[in-house]
Chains A and B, each alone.
Chain A
Amino acid sequence: MTPTRAAGRYAAGRDVAVVAPWYPNPVQEWAGAFVQAMVEATAPGCDSVTVYHTEAWWLRPGPEYAAACAAHRRLLPVALRDEPAVAGARLVRVPVPAVPGRTFAEQAREHASWLREALGGEPIPARVVHAHVGLRGGWTALENARPDARVFVTEHASYLDQVLAQPDSRDMYEQVLHRCTGFFAVTDVLRDRLAEAFPALAHKIETISNPVSFESPRPRPVTGLRRWLYVGTLVERKGVDLLLEAFAECRAEDPGLTLSIAGSGELAGRLAERAAGLGVGRAVSFLGAVAPDEAARLMREHDLLVHAARWETFGVTIVEAVAAGLPVLVTRCGGPERTLAGIESAAGEMIDVAEDAASIAAGYRRLRDRFPDGLDLAKAREVLDGRFGYRVVADVHHRYWFPEPAAVGADDSADDDVPPDGGSGT
């Protein structure tokens, strides 16, 4: 295929499309930050990258929804344009009129249908499609990819059990696994869960972590563990209530401690009341949800990241904290003990998941007592860069995406003969 022809219909050899239901946007600047990071990491080395962000726009069910869909269909041809994104990529935001209460499979069909509408019924031109999350990303990509495209799916979802609990969504998930060229989970925890649910397709699921930027370390090293930071959603699963209680307990011993909580969620109001009730209202700052850049800045300006989640598939903020030169106090909640394997003591302190604040406070005291000599943040950073840095993660993806770089680059005329399964990828 020549570039001229590619511009008309199909894309050139190393053009990549990304399909995701999340991407940082003006409503939620932090949503899908990992998709953006993946694009930023993998775009270098590709000819072009186009991100298709199918974005749910929520409506009430009924006549209003039907009318909005009809109007949207008329507007798309004139209103939809792409925009610049990170690392030279282009971003196409496709609004998806959505109503609550639908299963993940039903939502995936809507996302797929609206992307098809956005593309004027044509397939995605790129020969490599990388989708994020199994159904709204994976199914949408498979339904819109050109017949000879190589479609890869990365699963990140912490709500995977909810997806698999819905019979239609589980069936669709199995189809996605079957049809895609390669399937990646960002942690072994997720991989194992999927392998357990779909044993016949377990051989197809690989683990490739999310990429983390190690480009911006803090200007001065941490000298004391007094400014605590939490970054994440404010929901029960994240253990923020226990973290708050542990902070109050530790602050009783050291009144100089402060805690910044960056995130939003259903517990926000209750946590503020609880902080006041514990007598630490003035020492706790609720910053609300912050954009990824702001989170990185906060990490460079605090002394300790505390993450007391009950369950976490990956825990990207923990890796980001180490990348920013911040020690971490973190629970063994699934993802972190794997991401920090071998450098637990160098990066900070790990604690068991327990239903009381005392274990977090005890973990803090152990960490404080061996800080700074008992830690090796530089080593932790170096090891994690080797595991999750942009270049490492991008290289792995590129090896799957472009298995025969010489042949692809030398003779694009043979490209149309590439079999749908690409002959590789798993």
Chain B
Amino acid sequence: MNVLFVALGASRRPAVIRESARVVAERGDAAVLIRGASAWTGDPLPDGVDAIELPALERRYRPAAIRLLLYRIPRLLLHVLLPGPLRGIGDRVDAGYRRRVANRVDDRLARRYRRDRAAVRRRVIERELRTRSVGLVVVADPQSLVTVAELADVIAGAGARPAYSIASAAGRPPAGRTRG
């Protein structure tokens, strides 16, 4: 099973390390959503476990239309117009275009499309869940409860389920919760 651990508070690091290692050992894919890498320098994640910094993920976010119109289409045009041995010139032009035009336009647009930070977070997490085919989202510390609760519908929409540990992946709701 592919698992995303949400560990924004880094306050239960041993649990994240042990459980993510177990996921990898069982041939699953494990990624850990963190606030910053510095909290994990003393307790590094096991080999094969990806650390995803949420602030960086949100910073890199651009709506699909922006990515397409500002970046992908111009790049495609340059590749078509400057093929073969001219590819190097095309890459330099593309870099200059991005620096002088696309990034500046994007900066201006970003003030609008990043205004709703919750929406940005929902989109980046949804993309991450779908890309990684995540089946289980583990709330790994109390500082992550709010974020995971806010994303509950996104998680369900991506076909995943929230949990408090991987050990309960195949478990049943406790008595009292079973009767609807």
Given contacts A26-B14, A59-B142, A79-B162, contact A71 B19 (CB under 8 A): no
Instruction: List residues of chain B with CB within 8 A of the CB of A122.
Output: 175-176, 179
Q: Is A64 engaged at the interface, CB distance under 8 Å to the other chain?
A: yes
Q: Is A97 engaged at the interface, CB distance under 8 Å to the other chain?
A: yes
How near does chain B come to A118, taking the closest CB pair, in angstroms?
Answer: 6
Cβ-neighbour of A82 out of B18, B149, B168, B179 (below 8 A): B168
Given contacts A27-B14, A75-B162, A80-B174, contact A57 B142 (CB under 8 A): yes
A83 CA to B173 CA in the complex, in Å?
10
A50 CA to B178 CA in the complex, in Å?
15
Task: Let me know if B15 and A79 touch, CB within 8 A.
Answer: no
Cβ-neighbour of B179 out of A8, A28, A57 (below 8 A): A8
Task: Let me know if B175 and A125 touch, CB within 8 A.
Answer: yes
Chain A interface residue bracket vs B: 35 or more
Task: Let me know if A77 and B18 touch, CB within 8 A.
Answer: no
Within 8 A of A (CB), among B126-177: 139, 141-143, 145-146, 148-150, 152, 156, 161-165, 167-177
How near does chain B come to A159, taking the closest CB pair, in angstroms?
Answer: 23
Cβ-neighbour of A57 out of B14, B18, B141, B161 (below 8 A): B141
How near does chain B come to A399, taking the closest CB pair, in angstroms?
Answer: 26
How many chain-B residues does the 8 Å CB contact rule pick out?
A: 34
Given contacts A26-B14, A81-B163, contact A97 B145 (CB under 8 A): yes
Task: Let me know if B174 and A78 touch, CB within 8 A.
Answer: no
Instruction: List residues of chain B with CB within 8 A of the CB of A90.
Output: 171
Instruction: List residues of chain B with CB within 8 A of the CB of A121.
Output: 176
Given contacts A64-B143, A71-B148, A75-B148, contact A93 B177 (CB under 8 A): no
Within 8 A of B (CB), among A41-81: 50, 52, 57-59, 64, 67-68, 70-72, 74-75, 77-81
Q: Is B12 engaged at the interface, CB distance under 8 Å to the other chain?
A: yes
How near does chain A come to B172, taking the closest CB pair, in angstroms?
Answer: 6
Q: Is A2 engaged at the interface, CB distance under 8 Å to the other chain?
A: no
Task: Let me know if B167 and A71 touch, CB within 8 A.
Answer: no
Task: Let me know if A80 and B143 touch, CB within 8 A.
Answer: no
Given contacts A74-B152, A120-B176, contact A57 B12 (CB under 8 A): yes
Q: Is A119 engaged at the interface, CB distance under 8 Å to the other chain?
A: yes
Within 8 A of B (CB), among A271-302: none
Q: Is B11 engaged at the interface, CB distance under 8 Å to the other chain?
A: yes
Cβ-neighbour of B139 out of A59, A64, A79, A125 (below 8 A): A79
How near does chain A come to B62, taking the closest CB pair, in angstroms?
Answer: 28
A90 CA to B146 CA in the complex, in Å?
28
Q: Is A124 engaged at the interface, CB distance under 8 Å to the other chain?
A: yes
Q: Is A103 engaged at the interface, CB distance under 8 Å to the other chain?
A: no
A26 CA to B146 CA in the complex, in Å?
22
A80 CA to B46 CA in the complex, in Å?
26
Task: Let me know if B164 and A79 touch, CB within 8 A.
Answer: yes
- Closest residue on chain A to residue B17 by CB atoms: A26
Instruction: List residues of chain B with CB within 8 A of the CB of A119.
Output: 174-177
Instruction: List residues of chain A with CB within 8 A of the CB of B170.
Output: 81
Given contacts A71-B146, A93-B164, contact A81 B179 (CB under 8 A): no
How near does chain B come to A80, taking the closest CB pair, in angstroms?
Answer: 6
Task: Let me know if B163 and A79 touch, CB within 8 A.
Answer: yes
Q: Which of A8, A67, A79, A121 has the most CB of B within 10 A?
A: A79
Instruction: List residues of chain B with CB within 8 A of the CB of A97.
Output: 142, 145
Within 8 A of B (CB), among A104-134: 118-125
Task: Let me know if A83 and B162 touch, CB within 8 A.
Answer: no
A77 CA to B178 CA in the complex, in Å?
10
How near does chain A come to B134, taking the closest CB pair, in angstroms?
Answer: 14
Given contacts A71-B148, A118-B174, A120-B177, contact A80 B164 (CB under 8 A): yes
Q: Can you report 11 residue pairs joining A to B where beta carbons are below 8 Å apart?
A: A26-B14, A26-B19, A52-B174, A57-B142, A58-B142, A67-B145, A70-B149, A71-B146, A71-B148, A79-B148, A80-B173
A79-B161, A119-B176 known; 13 new pairs, CB 8 Å cut-off, are A11-B175, A26-B12, A26-B18, A26-B165, A27-B12, A50-B175, A67-B145, A71-B146, A77-B173, A83-B165, A119-B175, A122-B175, A122-B176
Chain A interface residues toward B at CB < 8 A: 8-9, 11, 25-28, 50, 52, 57-59, 64, 67-68, 70-72, 74-75, 77-84, 90-93, 95, 97, 118-125
